[in-house]
Structure 1
Amino acid sequence: MNDINIAATSSTPLIETDFAGGSVFMEGDSYPENSFEFYEPLVQWVSSYLENRSNLVLELSLLYLNTSSIKIMMDIFDMLEEAHTAGKDVTVNWRYDLENERVAELAEEFKEDCSFSFNIIGEE
């Protein structure tokens, strides 16, 4: 399974996957012109990964997400929830700047719908 390494742009986040280490790292803003097209490789990667492995950690440092990016993240979190229900060990660590309350509120909204480990980590 090939890892993904997508460089950040002004409207899309950095995305790096690590199959061997069991992690996904995302950082930056997310308002691509076509979120579904942009995130399709990541959605496929997460789906395939969870079919074959039993643990996954998402390390997020997302600053802004438009509505369609939020929908994609909900889809990814739904996959994690299914994996968790099936006994797999999944975790989200969402880091945010303490001065950016909007991101913390968004992360809290996502966390409300998740029963797996979902950590919201404020940093200065």
Structure 2
Amino acid sequence: MENLIIEKTQSTPHIVLDAGLNILSIRGESFPENPAKFYAPILNWIKDFIEGIDRQEVRVDFEILYFNSSTSKVFMTIFDLLDKAVENGKKISVNWHCDKKNDTVIECGEEFKEDIKKLPFNIIIRG
């Protein structure tokens, strides 16, 4: 499976989906004009990737400084996909990185964590 790398812009995050290292990373700000369109290839990649993994451990890192409500819905879709994969025996964990001064991102991470059932979701506060 090919890796997917999307460079950041003023309104979209840097995304690295590395099938060889089993790492998915989304970092930066996310408020694209059309989040569903922007994240569609990412969601498709994640779906395909999940089908191909077996016993490998997968780490998903989010380090989002700001995101809008439309992006939040897409993130929840990603977490739902990952949560279902964990329910089906996949070894996936999420690290939600945030700065201690960014209360909004911390609270959003806590809300995401409450909404998932099986997916290990670590909130990592630094600073």
TM-score normalised to the size of structure 2? 0.94
Kindly report the root-mean-square deviation, in angstroms, between the aligned alpha carbons of the 2 structures: 0.9
Superposed structure 1 runs of 4+ greater than 2 Å apart: none
* Cα deviation digits, residues 39-87 of structure 1 (max 9, x gap): 1111011000001103421111011111111111111111011101101
Mark the runs of 5 or more structure 1 residues left unpaired by the alignment: none
Alignment partner for residue 106 of structure 1, among 105, 108, 112? 108
The one-letter code sitting in structure 2 at the alignment partner of 1:118 is F
Are residues 1:12 and 2:12 paired? yes
Q: Which residue of the partner structure matches residue 58 of structure 2? A: 56
| Mapping for residues 77-116 of structure 1, pairs under 5 Å | 77-114=79-116, 115-116=118-119
- Percent identity, aligned pairs only, is 39
Quote how far apart the aligned CAs of 1:2 are.
Answer: 1.5
Q: SS of the residue aligned with 1:10?
A: coil
Q: Which residue of the partner structure matches residue 71 of structure 1? A: 73
The one-letter code sitting in structure 1 at the alignment partner of 2:49 is Y
Q: Which residue of the partner structure matches residue 123 of structure 1? A: 126
| Mapping for residues 35-46 of structure 1, pairs under 5 Å | 35-46=35-46
Q: Give the distance between the partners of 1:92 and 1:81, measured in 2 at CA.
A: 10
Q: SS of the residue aligned with 1:70?
A: helix
Q: SS of the residue aligned with 1:57?
A: strand
Q: How many residues align?
A: 124
Quote how far apart the aligned CAs of 1:9 are.
Answer: 1.0
Higher alpha-carbon deviation: 29-38 or 50-59: 50-59
